[in-house]
Amino acid sequence: MSTISQSHPSPSKIIAPNAPQPQDSKPKIKVGVLGATGTVGQRFIVLLSTHPWFVIDSLGASARSAGKSYKDAVKWKQVTPIPSVTANLIVKECLPEHFSDCQIVFSGLDADVAGDIEGAFRAANLAVFSNAKNYRRDPNVPLIVPLVNPSHLSIIPQQQSLHSPPLTKGFIVTNANCSTTGCVIPLAALEKAFGPLESLIVTTMQAISGAGYPGVPSLDILDNIVPHIGGEEEKIEWETLKILGGITEKEDGLKAFDMHSSKPLRVSASCNRVPVIDGHTECVSVRFARRPPPSPQQVREALAAYTPDAQTLGCPSAPRKTIVVHEEPDRPQPRLDRYFQDGAGVSVGRVRQCQVLDIKFVVLANNVSIGAATSSLINAEFAVLKGVVQ
């Protein structure tokens, strides 16, 4: 029997029981949100409005929104009302001088404008946690799914030292594409338990909210499936390697992401847009380097037991249970499972033997939570606990 799921958003985020109390007793850390009027920016604001460590100090958006109160500038699309703590904040242009009191800046900017703006904020010695794709391929910027590879924060000192001029506080951390995030969490659990994977085939059924607002036209998505999402398959195929790979030291003494090269992993992705509002469902088949491979029951047990560092350390936005394993043959389902733990973990079901590779299963991840803003939030929490944010 699976863990009880929810059909509506939970009223408050589940807080890890071992969340460190000393941080809670300190003054809250001032943060800013870039792209605050957009879909991801709104989700940041919902999560930050009740955060135990962070407090919103500044909101940034386009020039046409600057100078307005947030409630007048935003077209609010969340299921909860605009938080009172932000409703009357004046929106500012996305310029570093407007965020000088912030220690952390969360970016929900569109990729069309994120690159230059995020780079300017880093150069102004601000810590930027970005949901945009612009810096994911940068060899000195970590691409982090917080329930998988927060150890990649170790490359930040190199990022700072190679910047011209060198930085003391500023850096950029990116989180992964929403479809990649849902897939790599169970993959990380399997590699931790059984060693490297050799092959991965993933077919996604991605929610329309992943396309932003206003998103896919209704006449394209109602009574339909769109078997193409521009650039999505390539993202999954290379992001998976950077996330699951390690960091090595080159002959010149610099660190580099090894892209899983010590045990090459072949990834094939097919991506589809489906008429679901929130929640990406993915059908995954894997082959292990280990022979014989683990049994389906061993895989279920390893997935259920997976406990990432972010959970152990006590990041307050981390889920209490990272991977919920369902035994029913018809779970997980977006409508039933996407809001469990406020969408901070993933749900896995239908774990069974694959006649082509070794094991196949279905994973569901909430693309607007762990697939977006929640990941950035946990990344920042981990960085605070590890002293990366000064």
Position 15 scores a pLDDT of 33
Q: Are 212 and 279 in contact (CB under 8 A)?
A: no
Position 83 scores a pLDDT of 97
- The CA-based angle 322-326-328, given to 5 degrees, is 170
Instruction: Give residue 384's pLDDT band: very low, low, confident or very high (50, 70, 90).
Output: very high
Position 213 scores a pLDDT of 86
- The verdict on whether 280 is a catalytic residue reads yes
Alpha-carbon dihedral 95, 76, 112, 155, rounded to 10 degrees: 70
User: Does position 336 have pLDDT exceeding 80, yes or no?
Assistant: yes
Mean pLDDT of 309-338: 97
Mean pLDDT of 52-76: 97
Q: Tell me: cis bond preceding 264? Omega within 30 of 0 counts.
A: no
> What is the number of other CB atoms lying within 10 angstroms of the CB of residue 84?
9
108: closest CA among 92, 124, 128, 90? 128
Q: What is the pLDDT of residues 293-302, one digit of tens each?
A: 999 999 999 9
Q: What is the pLDDT of residues 82-108, one digit of tens each?
A: 999 999 999 999 999 999 999 999 999
Q: What is the pLDDT of residues 146-182, one digit of tens each?
A: 999 999 999 999 999 999 999 999 999 999 999 999 9
Q: Tell me: cis bond preceding 196? Omega within 30 of 0 counts.
A: no
User: Does position 56 have pLDDT exceeding 70, yes or no?
Assistant: yes
Instruction: Give residue 5's pLDDT band: very low, low, confident or very high (50, 70, 90).
Output: very low
Position 25 scores a pLDDT of 67
Strand bridging mode 255-257 / 197-206: unpaired
User: Does position 7 have pLDDT exceeding 90, yes or no?
Assistant: no
CB-neighbour burial class of residue 193 (10 A; exposed 0-12, middle 13-18, buried 19+): middle
Q: Which of 51, 94, 152, 178 is catalytic?
A: 178
* Nearest-angstrom CA–CA distance, 286 and 16: 31
Q: Are 239 and 149 in contact (CB under 8 A)?
A: no
User: Does position 64 have pLDDT exceeding 60, yes or no?
Assistant: yes
Instruction: Give residue 390's pLDDT band: very low, low, confident or very high (50, 70, 90).
Output: confident
For residue 380, the Cα-to-chain-centroid distance in whole angstroms is 11
Q: Residue 146 corresponds to which amino acid? A: P
* Nearest-angstrom CA–CA distance, 345 and 316: 13
Position 265 scores a pLDDT of 98
- How many helical (H) and strand (E) elements, i.e. helices and strands, does the chain have? 13, 14
Q: Are 272 and 226 in contact (CB under 8 A)?
A: yes
The torsion angles phi and psi of 69, rounded to 5 degrees, stand at: -70, 150
CB-neighbour burial class of residue 117 (10 A; exposed 0-12, middle 13-18, buried 19+): buried
User: Does position 310 have pLDDT exceeding 60, yes or no?
Assistant: yes
Mean pLDDT of 237-254: 96
Instruction: Give residue 363's pLDDT band: very low, low, confident or very high (50, 70, 90).
Output: very high
CB-neighbour burial class of residue 226 (10 A; exposed 0-12, middle 13-18, buried 19+): middle
Query: Mean pLDDT score of the chain, rounded to an integer?
Result: 93
- The verdict on whether 283 is a catalytic residue reads no
Q: What percent of the chain has pLDDT over 90?
A: 92
Q: Are 144 and 379 in contact (CB under 8 A)?
A: yes
Q: Which of 271, 280, 315, 326 is catalytic?
A: 280
25-29: long-range contacts (C-beta < 8 A, 24 or more apart)? Answer: 28/53, 28/54, 28/55, 29/53, 29/54, 29/55, 29/103, 29/104, 29/384, 29/389
28: closest CA among 369, 310, 384? 384
Q: Are 202 and 269 in contact (CB under 8 A)?
A: yes
Residue 149's Cβ-side half-sphere holds a number of Cα atoms within 13 Å equal to: 30
Instruction: Give residue 23's pLDDT band: very low, low, confident or very high (50, 70, 90).
Output: low
